[in-house]
Structure 1
Amino acid sequence: MKDSRYFTPAELAKLFGISKQLLLYYDKNDIFSPEFVDENGYRFYVLSQYFTLQIIISLRKLDVSLKEIKAYLKSKDINLLKDIYRNKQQEYKKQIEELLYLEKTMQQKISFLNDIQNLPLNQILLELQEEEHLYFSEDISFQTPIKHRMNILAKHMLPVFSHPSFQEYLMGFHYDSNEFFYEGLITQYNVFISANSKLHYNNPIKKTKEKGLY
């Protein structure tokens, strides 16, 4: 059917640079359906639907959910649209805070590397450090197969990597000082983590390094 009052799916999709499959997806999910389907199954959109699709595309670019879009299109309530925008605004604020935190962390890392690079090797240095919480793994015997030892290490690191946001952490190995200074006598060790926020462990071995000069 050739009628200047209607768009075919291909024509409408071309206007927005989207696929016909996306229009079909919106139709199947009762978001945006053609005005009518003829006896041969051809689908047609009226000219006014261009503006409705424009709203959908714009909201999707803001990552608004299809459920929220569907509710707004059904009611056309301006207060509901304002709520949608407010919710997205709060999400963006949170993302900005997280990005600023990451930017600050990266600068700290760069400064730390600069300090190491410029560290004099013929001097004893004292530095004021904040209180630090250290999380220790279970004892790991050197007699344990390497694969099992790696499993223990990975399990201990998991709370850092599974945290929803980037976590600054320090990982190290702890040896018994009495064994360390006698060659061949080290029998076991622990993995420890020092992180910039509380980590969730079941029955953690936790120690606190007091604030002071080190």
Structure 2
Amino acid sequence: MENKEFYFTTGELARLTGLSKQLLIFYDKKNFFTATATGSNGYRYYLLSKYFQLKILITLRKMDIPLEEIYQYLQHGNDEFLLSIYKRKLSEYQEQMKQLQKKSQILEKRIQSMERQPHLILNRIFITELEKERRYYRWDIDMSAPVKERVSHMAAALRPYLQDENCFRDSILGFILPSSSLHEKQPVTTYSFLTHYIPHIPGIKEQAVYTMKPGIYLKVHGYGHYGVIDTETKRTLLDFIERNHMKADDHFMVFPLSQYWMTGQSRWIMTTMIRIDS
């Protein structure tokens, strides 16, 4: 090849830009950034001016602009086209920043909550007042169904919550069980699980809504899993209700504490709540 002083080889261009030879060859094969000529030895050669085009390509790729759009710009050199690309990417980045801000706020709340209460007190009764109603979607489960079918049912209901920041909610999942199941000899034949009520959430169409009524509740933290609570937690609740001659609702709620799921324990920590007559 004549006048090689006006050309860079692939290796030379790679060293000057910090790109790999393999990437430059890939660009050439895909026609995103083509060599000016190919020598009899099979080497690719690029005019010196190609370096400046490659510099533009590298800069635009740093802003995550697709290669196809960069190629169109390099081919036509239309400033209006480049301006439209910049505006679109700015809009995308601004939306990403909003999402990151939401996630940062969620993490800050999680950190503050866990730092305030590093050691959760288990199997101790707390009396709390729910001032406003809470709404959930209610999904009924038949305990006679195979366990895989039950878990699959639950997973299908939870799937819409895993698509966005809703998966960070502490109350994404809960369970309703009959109060009779607090007595160890009473088997549970049916129960319901709850998912956080979000109007018009994609993936959830017609579904029963459960309302957790305002009032006085007994609350206790204890071990459990998937709506099954520890025997000691049951005994703590029953003893407190009977000792204080309280009248409790015919059902109670169990909520897994998601920030304690991965503690290395064989069982999860659950919050159990039951409404009582004041």
- Give the aligned partner of residue 54 of structure 1: 55
Distance apart, 1:166 and its partner CA: 4.8
Q: Does 1:11 find its partner at 2:12?
A: yes
Q: Does 1:201 find its partner at 2:204?
A: yes
Of 187-196 and 107-116, the range deviating more from structure 2: 107-116
- Give the aligned partner of residue 228 of structure 2: none
Stretches of structure 2 that go unaligned for 5 or more consecutive residues are 218-278
More strand by share: 2
Of 76-85 and 182-191, the range deviating more from structure 2: 182-191
Partners of 1:167 and 1:195 within 8 A in 2: no
- Aligned equivalents of 1:181, 1:139: Cα separation in 2: 18
Call closer, same or farther: CA 1:127–1:206 in 2, change over 3 Å.
Answer: closer
- Give the aligned partner of residue 102 of structure 2: 101
Q: Give the letter for the 2:135 counterpart.
A: H
Q: Does 1:125 find its partner at 2:138?
A: no
Number of residue-to-residue matches in the alignment: 210
- Give the aligned partner of residue 88 of structure 2: 87
State the TM-score, normalizing by the size of structure 1: 0.83
Equivalent runs, 1:117-196 vs 2, <5 Å: 124-129=127-132, 132-141=134-143, 143-161=144-162, 163-169=163-169, 170=171, 171-177=173-179, 179-182=180-183, 183-194=185-196
Q: Does 1:44 find its partner at 2:65?
A: no
Distance apart, 1:118 and its partner CA: 8.6
Partners of 1:31 and 1:66 within 8 A in 2: yes
- Aligned equivalents of 1:185, 1:166: Cα separation in 2: 33
SS at match of 2:137: strand
Distance apart, 1:136 and its partner CA: 1.9
Q: Give the letter for the 1:152 counterpart.
A: H
Call closer, same or farther: CA 1:34–1:211 in 2, change over 3 Å.
Answer: farther
- Aligned equivalents of 2:38, 2:117: Cα separation in 1: 71
- Aligned equivalents of 1:118, 1:124: Cα separation in 2: 19
Distance apart, 1:123 and its partner CA: 5.6
Equivalent runs, 1:10-29 vs 2, <5 Å: 10-29=11-30
Of 4-13 and 120-129, the range deviating more from structure 2: 120-129
Partners of 1:167 and 1:196 within 8 A in 2: no
For residues 36-87 of structure 1, give each alpha carbon's deviation from its aligned partner in whole angstroms, at most 9, with x where no partner exists.
1234432100111101001111111111011111111111111111111111
Call closer, same or farther: CA 1:191–1:6 in 2, change over 3 Å.
Answer: same
